Amino acid sequence: MSNTTVREPQAALWGFYPFKRDELLRELEKAFKDTKFGPGDVPKKKVPSIQVIGGIAPHAGYSYSGACAAWLYKEIAENKPKVETVVIIGTNHTGFGGNITTSTYFKEWATPLGSIGVDLEFIDRLKKEYPILDDDALAHIREHSIEVQLPFLQYVYGNQIKIVPIVVKTVDEREATEFARAIHSVSTSLNKDVIIIASSDFTHHGYVYDYILFTSNIAANVKKLDLEYINAIVELDTRKFLSLIRKYNGTVCGFGAIAIAMEYTRLVNGRAKLLKYYNSAEVTGEEDIVVGYASIIFYK
């Protein structure tokens, strides 16, 4: 296979996670074993107690949000030991591509833990089911939100799974519902076992983000704001969630991805539960820049 079809790791080069395999594995284990921000231990083999639909995980550097993401991946590992395809819906930070954009140009995505195949059959059907789905490699080349999830998925599943990479700009409730229906229709028609991961951080507060709502008790206020969003998510009330984003001119970077995952969960009669929330100020002690992180599971 020629190198042009492999999406080489970018986020590792930018310092989101270690570029060396051994260091990356240590970093992942550290995230799981973190007793303050993480779940406190690596996943254990156990009898599944829930049916996993998917979840929301943050995509900041592992030193900030890795422990938060570990909560979701521990639940997934312990309750969903096998899966065929993971639909990862990320944020479109670059502005390339359409409103909802996939890529069939890359046949594999690589990390220091190896390569994962792209489910081209799934994408092909999805494009037929949802004709305005854009297919543009440019939207994915310099986008970190999908890549940052991959080492966690590889830690849990190895390299046997396939992924459907999608990045989203903004969607309204109707678009979220229609795209969720398309994903569900394709997974049903192909009889594929899928889970959906929405890759998103929560509020980005500070001058650097051109977003200042609070001038005192910033970390506590950001948390309060994020919990408003999270309550709407846990209630699976997409309309309320999107109206809160509009109300606060919200800086939840992957709100479109979250809305789609919520609608998919509603479609399959699932539920949502917050596993962990904290923000960067709790990690760094600095309030000039505050970013919120949440780990939320969708399940039956």
The conformation of residue 206, written as its DSSP 8-state character, comes to B
Rg (C-alpha) for the chain, rounded Å, is: 18
- Per-residue pLDDT averaged across 77-82, rounded? 96
pTM for this entry: 0.96
Query: Does position 200 have pLDDT exceeding 50, yes or no?
Result: yes
35-62 average pLDDT score: 96
Q: What is the mean pLDDT of residues 266-290?
A: 97
3-299 maps to which CATH number?
A: 3.40.830.10
Q: Which residue has the tokens 């991961």?
A: 197
Question: Residue 82, Cβ neighbours under 10 Å: how many?
Answer: 8
CB 95 within 8 A of CB 170: no
Closest CA to 27 of 75, 64, 78: 64
Closest CA to 74 of 299, 295, 277: 295
- Residue linked to tokens 């970190």: 144
pLDDT of residue 91 exceeding 80? yes
Return the pLDDT at 4. 60
- For residues 197-216, give the mean pLDDT: 96
**Mean predicted confidence (pLDDT) in 29-33:** 98
What are the helix (H) ranges across the chain? 21-33, 67-79, 120-129, 138-141, 150-157, 173-189, 218-234, 238-247, 255-267, 280-284
Provide the H-helix boundaries in 56-172: 67-79, 120-129, 138-141, 150-157
Domain layout of the chain by residue ranges:
3-299
Q: Evaluate if residue 205 carries a pLDDT over 90.
A: yes
pLDDT at 189: 97
Asked whether 154 and 207 are in contact (CB, 8 A), the reply is: no
User: What does DSSP say about strands 134-135 and 290-299: parallel, antiparallel, or unpaired?
Assistant: unpaired
CB atoms within 10 A of CB 130: 19
Mean pLDDT of all residues belonging to the chain: 96
| CA 125-158-112 angle, 5° bins | 100
pLDDT of 1 higher than 50: no
